[in-house]
Amino acid sequence: MKIIIVGCGRVGAKLAGDFAEEGHHVSVVDQRQTSFRRLPPGFRGQLVLGTGIDEDVLRNAGIQQADVFIAVTENDNTNIMAAQIAQVIYRVPKVILRIYDPDRAEIYRELGLTVICPTRTVAEMIEHAVRDQILSTQSG
Amino acid sequence: MYIIVVGGGKVGYYLTKTLVNEGYEVFLIEKNPTKVQLYRDRFGAIVMQGDGAEVATLAAAGAGRADVVIAVTGDDEDNLVICQVARERFGVRRTIARVNNPKNEELFRRLGIDVTVSQTNVILSLIEQQIPERPFVHLLALRHADLAIVEAKVAAESPVVQQPIWQLPLPPESIITAILRRGELIIPTGQTIIEPGDELIIVTKQQREAELRELLCAPATR
């Protein structure tokens, strides 16, 4: 499969390394050359320097052939715009993006995007852990 | 009419000032606290510090009763999201986005923004109109109707010279609305005779512009 990842932070670099390891064709897009240092040694995917909200940059990354598009830059709005370019203009079959802000995450989920909201997910996990602790204290 | 402006750069500042002077109810949202303080001294309580892409900020600004939201920050991704959040969460009927990168104009329209304003394109076309001796100038595009207003200078060797307008082989969907002749404005009728050097103001479909240029302007100076 052809996978494009916009944003080579910790999450982006980890995903890129894992998918390339599994034999997928991975293109990583980031504005800063230094971000590519986060990729694992021997990474065989394509590196594209530029912003993920520029159609020319995304075409260089092969968006016309992409099966999966992942937007995980540090900026919610950049992820939202990049994901909509992939979904609406290039009709990439699977578009996944990260949105930290829970309100915006809900809005774009309603608009048909696959949104991961780490704020909500992490908060829920912590709440679960705390509730488990409360339960075990009460029963113990 | 209640208008929310997001982004207090030069564009946002002068826009707010103009709208206030014209008597509109305006609210300005700006991220930078220093600027907010400065603008409060000038505009009073209609300025708020915050991120206009956040639901809570727009709610505090009263987006629920806003007629228009105008996003004029320097970042296209922010302007896009501000307009989309305003529409999806607050049902704002008219959203206007500034487009910093002209490449994004078409994209924004496809993503549902009502109006886009591209500074680069506006400035380009203003400069274009001021370049002398250009025989064919695109003055204005009325995008939703696919119409254009163009100005064409009639070449001496054009087949339209010395012809009355009703006989001109104009492309379909084109109307000559005014003629500038030696500094004078003429509102033409079918009987008006075209002279070489006439500057014609024509309303036309955008795809007819090339045919018009071919017909009216001399090939050598094109």
Q: State the DSSP string of chain B.
A: -EEEEE--SHHHHHHHHHHHHTT-EEEEEES-HHHHHHHHHHH-TTEEES-TTSHHHHHHTTGGG-SEEEE--S-HHHHHHHHHHHHHHH--SEEEEEESSTTHHHHHHHTT-SEEEEHHHHHHHHHHHHSTT-SEEEEEEEGGGTEEEEEEEPPTT-TTTT-BGGG--PPSSEEEEEEEETTEEE---TTPBP-TT-EEEEEEEGGGHHHHHHHHS-GGG-
Amino acid at A92: V
pLDDT digit string, tens, across residues B32-90: 999 999 999 999 889 999 999 999 999 999 999 999 999 999 999 999 999 999 999 99
pLDDT tens-digit profile of B11-21? 999 999 999 99
* One-letter amino acid of B146: D
Whether the CB-CB separation of B79 and B101 falls below 8 Å is answered with no
Distance between CA A79 and CA A114 in Å, rounded?
12
* CATH, residue A22: 3.40.50.720
Closest CA to B200 of B146, B160, B141: B160
Find which of A56, A75, A77, A106 to mutate to test the B interface (most B CBs within 10 Å of its CB): A77
Does residue B56 sit at the A interface (CB-CB below 8 Å)?
yes
Residue of B nearest to A51 (CA): B77
pLDDT at res. B160: 92
User: Is B86 in CB contact (< 8 Å) with chain A?
Assistant: no
* Interval B134-167: pLDDT, tens: 777 777 777 666 788 888 999 988 999 999 999 9
Phi, psi dihedrals of residue B196, rounded to the nearest 5°: -60, 145
Domain housing A104: 2-139
Cβ contact A80–B80 (<8 Å):
yes
pLDDT digits (tens, 9 = 90+) for B174-199: 999 999 998 888 999 999 999 999 99
Coil/strand/helix, residue A49: strand
Contact residues on chain A for B54, CB-CB shorter than 8 A: 101, 103-104
Reading across the β-sheet that carries B174-181, which strands appear in turn? B136-142, B147-153, B199-205, B174-181, B184-186
CA dist A94 and B165 (Å) reads 57
ipTM summary value: 0.90
User: Which pLDDT band holds residue B222 (cuts at 50, 70, 90)?
Assistant: very low
Domains delineated in chain B: 2-122 (3.40.50.720), 133-221 (3.30.70.1450)
Residues of chain B neighbouring A80 (CB-CB closer than 8 A): 77, 80-81, 84
Per-residue pLDDT for B220 more than 50?
Answer: no
Name the residue facing A77 among B56, B77, B88 (closest C-beta).
Answer: B77
Q: Does B91 touch chain A if contact means CB atoms closer than 8 Å?
A: no
Looking at the complex, report in whole angstroms how far the Cα of residue A117 sits from the nearest Cα belonging to chain B: 15
- Taking contacts as CB-CB distances below 8 angstroms, the residues of chain B near A56 are 103
For residue range A90-129, what is the model confidence (pLDDT) as tens digits? Answer: 999 999 999 999 999 999 999 999 999 999 999 999 999 9
Residue B131 has pLDDT above 80, yes or no: no
Q: Kindly determine whether residue A107 and residue B85, on different chains, have CB atoms separated by under 8 Å.
A: yes
B55 and A CB contact within 8 Å: yes
User: Model's pTM, two decimal places?
Assistant: 0.78
In Å, the largest CA–CA distance within chain A is 61
Q: How many distinct structural domains can be found in chain A?
A: 1
- A24: number of Cβ within 10 Å: 15
Residue B221 reports pLDDT greater than 70: no
